Amino acid sequence: MTEAKLTWIEDELTSLKESGLFINLRVIDSAPGAWMQVDGKRVLNLCTNNYLGLANDERLVRAAKQAVDDFGVGPTAVRTIAGTLALHVELEKAIAVFKGVEDALYVQSGFVANQAALVPLVGREDVIFSDRLNHASIIDGARLSRAKIVVYEHTDAVDLEAKVKKHLPQYRRGLVVTDGVFSMDGDIAPLDKIYAVAETYGLMTMVDDAHGEGVLGKGGRGIVDHFGLHGKFDVEIGTFSKAFGVVGGAVAGKKVIVDYLRQKARPFLFSNAVTAADTAGCLAAVKVLSESTDLVDRLWKNTDTFKSAMVSLGFDVGKSVTPIVPVMLGDVKLAKNFSRRLFDEGVFAMALGFPTVPQGLARIRVMVSAALSQGDLDYGLEKFEKIGRELGVI
């Protein structure tokens, strides 16, 4: 029996279940390759963020194993006390070179990287201009900073400028922050236009490149490279958990900022350093991408193949310009049912509903990967066609 003081939680869970929004966890029992073992079944993987297939790449695996042999499994200290390994420093240098920035800070995750950067950069007297659809970790970092948050319309630099004109004079300093790639729709921020506004009004600039690194720009150098804006954005947030295939986050950008964050960022000061194995895996990933554009080229080839075939079949794939393919279905129960039927047929693609996406805009989100062969893509497309017809979507 649930204690009286906690019955409200049971009511909340029941209401989630009734509205179809309850999240059921699938359990994975293999590497996240093209095919994986999910809830005891071998299925085609269309939903991890393993864009380049690096998560189980032999070069990364070997580097991580070697690091465990050399350094053990945990640093047992925060970076600022005794947790800074030579590997961390090497990775920070390597990612800075790869992204074409002055310096970088390696933290535990992309989620934490947003807190690490935002909280020291703005405070109560300041204002943050934030895209309406920014990632939850930007929103949380912004809230923690205690700065005033002004939301501008999604990817709308005209609205941004209007809001800046109206609000900036009441504050000490301003900062504009946006996702680079928006992970629910696969559209991208107009960084050139945002930069122009920021330049006019003297705003600090920050972009979260979590889904852009390893995907956009030359050889996956990210969204700033895609727009040719090197040296213009003050802070680039990154993650090693998506295209890089490992785990960890980065705050990359101007040296003066990274120097400051090494003194001030609370996740850096108060939470344990990332393990040697993860760090070595990240380093190996950066090395792979620095040496060749093959994987990124293949990712885009697969993306073009999959997207154009889905459109030919009659699916609405939204406005994505990246390997994220939202298959728009609208109703959350339809999306969940579609996902379940795909799974029966051996295809793993998750349905996303509120609050991850707005009410009424439920979808199946397919993440294309360089790890998929033509045969894998054909298999997935055949099943989408079958279920799409069965459920009256196409």
Q: Contact residues for ligand PLP (CB under 6 A)?
A: 109-111, 135, 137, 179, 183, 208, 210-211, 239, 241, 249
Nearer CB in complex with ligand PLP: 211/365: 211
Helix axis angle, 276-291 to 86-99, nearest 10°: 30
| Pick from 173, 293, 280: nearest CA to 221 | 293
Q: What letter would DSSP give residue 272? A: B
- 242 catalytic per annotation: yes
The closest of 217, 273, 283, 208 to 244, measured between CA atoms, is 283
Q: Dihedral angle at the C-alpha atoms of 207, 358, 174, 104, nearest 10 degrees?
A: -20
**Going by DSSP bridges, is the β-strand pair 235-239/204-208 parallel, antiparallel, or unpaired?**
parallel
CB neighbours (10 Å) of residue 1? 4
CB of 164 to ligand PLP, least distance (A): 22
The nearer residue to ligand PLP, 226 or 383, going by C-beta atoms, is 226
Pairing of strands 324-330, 362-367: antiparallel
- Name the catalytic one among 88, 242, 336, 383: 242
Could you check whether the bond before residue 75 is cis, i.e. omega within 30 degrees of 0?
A: no
Nearest approach in angstroms of CB 125 to ligand PLP is 26
211 is annotated as an active-site residue: yes
- Name the active-site residue from 137, 183, 241, 320: 183
Complex with ligand PLP: residue 242 or 336, whichever CB lies closer? 242
Minimum CB distance to ligand PLP smaller for 103 or for 179? 179
Q: Which residue is nearest to ligand PLP (CB)?
A: 110
Q: How far is the CB of 97 from ligand PLP (least distance, A)?
A: 21
Kindly name the residue from 99, 211, 336, 383 that is annotated as catalytic.
211
Nearest distance from residue 366's CB to ligand PLP, in Å? 16
Q: Is residue 183 flagged as an active site residue?
A: yes
Closest distance of CB 211 from ligand PLP, Å? 5
Q: Which residues pair with 45 in a beta bridge?
A: 348
Strand order in the sheet with 148-152: 103-107, 249-253, 235-239, 204-208, 174-179, 127-131, 148-152
Q: Which is nearer to ligand PLP, 168 or 296 (CB)?
A: 296
- State the catalytic residues: 183, 211, 242
